[in-house]
Amino acid sequence: MKEERYPQHIREFLIENNKGKSAREITELLNSAFGTDYTPEGIKGLRARMHLVSGLTGHFEKGHVPANKGKKGYCAPGSEKGWFKKGQMPHNHVPVGTEVMTTDGYLKIKVAEPKQWRFKHIMVWEKHNGKVPEGCMISFKDGNHYNCSIENLMCITRNENAILNHQKLRSESAEQTETAVILAKLKHKIQQKKAKGEQTI
């Protein structure tokens, strides 16, 4: 049992020395006094089980004067060596037009400074068709996120996308995926009719 690790003399020591000390401080005192190897986490748990309150709130007491009072804008001497000079670019800066791959496998393009990026497939689709309609998304017919040609992009609703994923209807074949989208649209229509209590054929 956990309490067997903390004999009576240890608990009495805690009671006598508990006030005003953090778990780390009281643990160091214990280990120093008794040659034990208690951890702050273990002592914290024991104090909680014993309903011991240190009285520490973690807040500054009323009237406390911060060490940096009256030093607004103060910087330690020598710290200016690491400052960016005016007009200096960070080492990881990339120019507008840079393409990178996101961690989830989509291409994105830097469109403006300092850090404005957009997904390439959406930009390509909007260039040919205008803004993506609300509730819709741009998907890849062949499932290849690198293939951002307009011929490989399709605009589908999020409901249709969910059906494609749930029913595992996607394919590496663009033609098969287009057929699957038609099926997804039909399934969604049926779902809508059922939800309204309408009869389906």
Domain stops at, among 49, 67, 85: 49
Helices (H), 1-115: 8-17, 23-34, 40-49
| Tens of pLDDT, residues 89-119 | 667 788 999 999 998 899 999 999 988 999 9
136 in a structural domain: yes
Count of domains forming the chain: 2
54 in a structural domain: no
103 in a structural domain: no
Domain stops at, among 17, 32, 49: 49
HSE-up of residue 74 (Cα within 13 Å, Cβ side): 7
150 in a structural domain: yes
Q: In degrees rounded to 5, what are phi and psi of residue 123?
A: -60, -45
How far is residue 200's CA from residue 74's CA, in Å, rounded to a whole number? 74
Question: Are residues 184 and 163 in contact, defined by beta-carbon separation less than 8 angstroms?
Answer: yes
pTM to 2 decimal places:
0.52
| Tens of pLDDT, residues 147-178 | 999 999 999 999 999 999 888 888 899 999 99
Domain range for 22: 2-49
62 in a structural domain: no
